Amino acid sequence: MAAATAVRPDATLRGAADTARAAALAVAGGDVVGDHQGMEMVEDRLATHYFASTSSAYRGWRWAVSVARVPRSKVVTVCEVDLVPGDGALLSPAWLPYAARLAPGDLGPGDVTPYVEADPLLEPGFEATGDEDVDAVALWELGLGRPRVLSAEGRDAAAQRWYDGEHGPTTPVAEKAPMACSSCGFFVPMPGALRALFGVCANEWSPSDGKVVSLDHGCGAHSEADAPAPAAERVSTPILDDFELDPV
C-alpha cells in the first residue's frame, strides 16, 4: 500500500484569515468572534481557520471557517462556517438508546425491558456447559418450562453483585454481628450451584429479611445470639406524710 501523500502548505489560504473572520462575523450575527487560533490544511487547496468564540453561552467553543481556491487561482472562497467544540467546551452527554439508559431500580409498574436475544448472562435451558452443577440446575429448570436459564457468566455476575452488596460480609452490620448467617436458624439455603455461597434470610427482625445473604453475612438478630437481659425495674413504695401540707 502506497504511503499517503502529505498535504502541501498553501500561502494563499493561510493569508485568508481576514476573509475567514468576515465570514464568521456574518454568520454569528454579532461581535462573538474572538482571536484567530490558527489554521490547518485539510486537503490540497482546502484549509480551515479557527477563531475563539466569545459568546458566554459557548465558552470553549470556536468558529471553524473552511476556505478553498481552485488550481492556479489566488481567489479564496469561503466554503462553510461552523461552531465546533474546542478544549474545555461544555458538551451534552452522548446519546444512549433506551435499553442502555435503564439502570437497576429504574423499572416501575407497567415498564417492560426490551428482549435481548443474545444475552451473555442467559443460555438455553437445554444447552450443556460442561459444569456438572450448572448443567444439573439447567436440566431441572428446563422442566419448569422456561426457555432460558442463567449461564455460567450470568451466575457469576449475580454472585459477585450480591457478595459485594449490602447483604455481603463487608457491611457494617455484618462486621459487628455476633455470628454469621451460616449458623442461623432463619437462614434458608439457596438451591443449585449458588447454595455454597448464599441463602435467604427468613427472620422478620433482621434488616435482611427476605433478601439474599451470603453465608458470611450476619446481623444482631441471629437465632443463637443472646444479649444480657436488662435489670428488673424496681419501684420504691410510696411514703405518705400526713404532716406535710401543700400550700394552696
Closest CA to 176 of 225, 210, 110, 212: 225
Cell of 191: 438451591
Residue type, 120: P
pLDDT of residue 125: 65
pLDDT of residue 234: 74
Asked if 33 contacts 24 with a C-beta cutoff of 8 angstroms, the reply is yes
Domains of the chain with CATH codes: 11-85 (3.10.450), 118-162 (no CATH), 165-214 (no CATH)
C-alpha to C-alpha distance for 89 and 60, rounded to whole angstroms: 4
C-alpha to C-alpha distance for 2 and 9, rounded to whole angstroms: 21
What stretches of 1-149 show up as alpha helix (H) in DSSP? Answer: 11-14, 17-28, 98-101, 132-142
Cell of 92: 451534552
pLDDT of residue 127: 56
Per-residue pLDDT of the chain (248 residues; tens, 9 = 90+): 455 578 889 999 999 999 999 999 999 987 899 999 999 999 999 999 999 999 988 989 999 999 999 999 999 999 999 999 998 898 888 888 766 777 777 767 776 676 778 888 777 766 556 677 766 665 655 545 567 878 889 999 999 999 999 999 999 899 988 899 999 999 999 988 899 999 999 998 899 999 999 999 999 889 888 766 667 677 677 666 666 666 66
Contacts of 83 (CB under 8 A, 6+ apart): 53, 58, 61, 62, 63, 64
CA angle 179, 181, 184 (to 5 degrees): 85
pLDDT of residue 143: 46
